[in-house]
Amino acid sequence: MLINCIAYLDGRKIADIAIGEIHNYVRQEDCFVWVAMKDATDAELEQMRAEFSLHELAVEDARAGHQRPKIEEYGDCVFAVLHLVEMLDGELHVGEVAIFVGPNYILSVRNRSSVSFMGVRDRCEREPHLLKHGSGFVLYALMDSVVDRYFPIIDALESELEQIEENIFTKGKARSNIERLYALKRKVTVLKHAAFPLMEGAGKLHGGRVPAMCVNTQEYFRDVYDHLVRINTSIDNLRDTIAIAMQVNLSVVTIDENDVTKKLAAWGGIFAAATAMAGVWGMNFKNMPELDWAYGYPFALTTMILVCVALYLRFKRAGWL
C-alpha cells in the first residue's frame, strides 16, 4: 500500500506525485523523491524497482522480509533493513522496514508494524536547511526515529526486572520468578538482535569511505551510532543482571530446600527417639521388671515426652525448627 509519494526541491516540498511520474522528478537536479509504503505487494515492489532501477537482490530481500538488520551497498544505492520493535500488552512485537536510498530518491517499505513515520516526514519538512542534504538526511531521520524507540523499551524492561527482583526473597514465588526472568531474557534477546547488527551497519555511514549520499551527514550518523552503543551497553547490563538474578533465585530455592530438609530431619529424629523407646518397652519379654511395675506405663510415657520435648528445644535453638 502506498502511503505517500512526494517530490522535494532544495529541501522543500514541491508536489505530491503519482508513481508513474517518479522518473520525471528523479532526473531533475537538486530534486529527490521520498516514497513511503506499507506491506507492499510484489507488484508494487516491482513497479518501484522499475521506477528507481533498484537492484534485484535488494528488492528480493524486501519482498521476502524477516531479514537481519543490515546496511548494504548496491552500486550507487544503499539498502538498509531495520527492525521496528514495539511493546504491546507487555510483549515485544517485531516489524521491519526496508529502505532504499539513492542519490535522488528514498523508498521505505514498512512490514508487520503499526509504527508510523509521519512524524519523521513532518520533522524533516520543518527543517528544509537539513532536508536539502537530500536522501542521506532522510535516511538518518528514519534510523534516528527507529533507534530512539528502543530507549523506552529498555526502560520498560528495566522496570520489569526491578519488580521481579523485589519478589526474589518472597517465599513461595521462586517458580514464578524464574519463569518471569526467562520471559524477560527472551525480550532482551529480541531487542539485542535488533540493535547490535544495526550498530555494525551504522558504523559504515560515518568516517572513512561512506556512500556518496551520506557524505554531508556523517556527523548525524555518528550520533545514531553513539545511541546504538548506549543501547547495546544497556542491553548487556540487563542480560548480566538477569543472569545474576537467576543465580540468586536458584540459590534461594536451594536454601528453602535445605530448610525443609532440616525440618524433616528434626521431626524424624524426634519421632525416632519416641519410636525407639516404645519399641524397647513393647518387646513383652517375660523377665521385664517394668511390665509388673504399677507406674511403668506413666513412667514410659513421661520419659518419651521429656525426650521429645528436649529434642524439640534443641532443634529449635539450632534453627532447624
pLDDT, tens digit (0-9, with 9 covering 90-100), for 258-297: 777 888 888 888 888 888 888 877 777 667 776 777 777 7
pLDDT at 195: 93
Is pLDDT at 147 greater than 80 in this prediction?
A: yes
Residues 140/142/143/147 CA torsion (nearest 10 deg): 130
Assign 133 to helix, strand or coil: coil
Topology (CATH level 3) of domain 257-318:
Methane Monooxygenase Hydroxylase; Chain G, domain 1 (1.20.58)
Q: What is the pTM of this model?
A: 0.79
**pLDDT given at position 186:** 93
How does residue 229 score in pLDDT terms, banded at 50, 70 and 90?
very high
The domain ranges of the chain are 1-132, 257-318
Residue-wise pLDDT tens digits, 116-146: 888 888 888 888 888 888 889 999 999 999 9
Measured in whole angstroms, the distance separating CA 238 from the mean position of its chain's CA atoms is 9
CATH of 1-132, one of 3.20.20.140, 3.30.9.10, 3.40.50.980, 3.30.460.20: 3.30.460.20
Which distant-in-sequence residues (6+ apart) come within 8 Å of 42 by Cβ? 63
> Nearest-CA neighbor of 140 among 65, 64, 218, 192?
218
pLDDT at 296: 76
What cell was used for 274?
519416641
